[in-house]
Homo-oligomer: A and B are copies of this chain.
Amino acid sequence: MEESDDERRTWDENQIRKYDIKMKSVPKHSFVDPIVMEIMLEGRPVIITDSKMVEPAAKWNLKYLARHMGNTNCNVIVSKDHNFKYYDDKCVQKAVRAKFVPPHKKVTMKIGEFVDKIKEMSPGGERLYLQQALTHSVGTEIVKDFLQFKWDYIKGIQKEMGWGSLTSNLLLIGMEGNVTPCHYDEQENLFAQVKGYKRILLFPPEQFECLYPHPVWHPHDRQSQVDFDDPDLTKFPKFANAMAQEAIVGPGDVLFIPNYWFHHVESLQNGGYTVSVNFWYKSKSTGAVAYPLNATQKMAIMRNVEKMLVDALRDPDEVGPLLRNLTLGRYHDFSLPPESQ
Residues of A within 8 A of B (CB): 208-209, 212-215, 225, 235-238, 291-293, 298, 301-302, 305-306, 308-309, 312-332, 334-336, 340-341
Contact = CB atoms under 8 A, between A and B. Distances in A.
Contacts of A225: 329-330, 332
20 contacts: A209-B328, A212-B329, A225-B329, A225-B330, A236-B329, A298-B322, A301-B309, A301-B313, A302-B322, A305-B308, A305-B309, A306-B326, A317-B336, A320-B330, A320-B334, A320-B335, A321-B331, A321-B335, A324-B331, A326-B327
Contacts of A238: 329
Contacts of A329: 209, 212, 225, 235-238
Contacts of A318: 292-293, 298
Name which of A305, A315, A326 has the most chain B CB atoms within 10 A of its CB. A326
Contacts of A305: 305, 308-309, 326
A341 B327 CA distance: 13
Nearest to A335: B320
A291 B315 contact: yes
A326 B313 contact: no
A144 B292 CA distance: 55
Contact of A324 (B215, B306, B341): B341
Nearest to A318: B292
Q: How many copies does the complex hold?
A: 2
Contacts of A334: 215, 316-317, 319-321
Contacts of A323: 323, 326-327, 331
Contacts of A237: 329
B215 A330 contact: yes
A330 to B, nearest CB: 5
Nearest to A292: B315
Given A213-B330, A215-B331, A293-B312, 16 more contacts: A209-B324, A209-B328, A209-B329, A215-B330, A215-B334, A291-B313, A298-B318, A298-B325, A301-B312, A301-B313, A305-B309, A316-B334, A320-B330, A320-B335, A321-B340, A324-B341
A318 B293 CA distance: 10
Nearest to A321: B336
Contacts of A209: 324-325, 328-329
A325 B306 CA distance: 12
A238 B327 CA distance: 13
A207 to B, nearest CB: 10
Contacts of A340: 321
A335 B235 CA distance: 13
A301 B334 CA distance: 21
A317 B332 CA distance: 11
Contacts of A315: 291-292
Contacts of A330: 212-215, 225, 320
Nearest to A213: B330
A228 to B, nearest CB: 16
